[in-house]
Each structure stands twice: as structure tokens, then as C-alpha cells.
Amino acid sequence: MLISIGSMSKKNFVALADSIREHNRIARLNGENVFTDDQLATLARFCALENPRFKRERWLNYIAGECGLNGGTVR
């Protein structure tokens, strides 16, 4: 069961994604576990509940390094 804590903004989603990306980067360097697809899917469901304009695929692609912050080309 997911519990809503209030409306999140794009800024909050980006901060969460950046934290996950940084964790995954460091974990890979240290041979540790990164966030799993199931864990990311759970977080994405939570984000979608927080804000109906949440772009699930863009957010997941950004975490995976497949697109830039706004869905464009990776820098």
C-alpha cells in the first residue's frame, strides 16, 4: 500500500531521480546492488499518485541514462 504525503513537483521528481542515479553510479563502482526494476516501478507508481502529470517513462529513462532531464538527448 502506498501512502501519499502531498503533491510532489517536477523539482522533487528530478531530485529523487538524481539521488537514485548517484546511488546506482556509486554502487556499480563498488560492486554493490543498484535499484532493481521492481523497486523503480514501485517508486514510479508512488510518483504518479503524487502528481497526475508525472511522466513515468521519461523519469525511468532519465534514471537509466537514456535521455536528458527533459526527455531530450543525453549531455
- The 10s digit of each residue's pLDDT in 39-74 is 999 999 999 999 999 999 999 999 999 998 877 777
If you ran DSSP here, which 8-state letter would residue 67 be given? Answer: S
Task: State the total domains in the chain.
Answer: 1
Decide if 72 is inside a domain.
no
pLDDT for residue 31 is more than 60 = yes
Does 69 fall in a domain? no
Which residues have C-beta within 8 Å of that of residue 69, sequence separation ≥ 6? 14, 62
Per-residue pLDDT band at 16 (split at 50, 70, 90): very high
Range of the domain at 28: 10-64
pLDDT digits (tens, 9 = 90+) for 18-29: 999 999 999 999
Domain-located, residue 1: no
Q: Is residue 4 part of a domain?
A: no
Predicted confidence (pLDDT) at residue 3 exceeds the cutoff of 60: no
User: What phi and psi values does residue 52 have, to the nearest 5 degrees?
Assistant: -65, -15
Residue 70 lies in a domain: no
Give the pLDDT confidence score for residue 1 in this predicted structure. 52
Q: Is 2 inside any structural domain?
A: no
Q: Which of 3, 50, 29 is nearest to 59 (CA)?
A: 50
Does the residue 73 lie in any domain?
no
For residue 4, pLDDT over 70 is answered with no
Residue 35 lies in a domain: yes
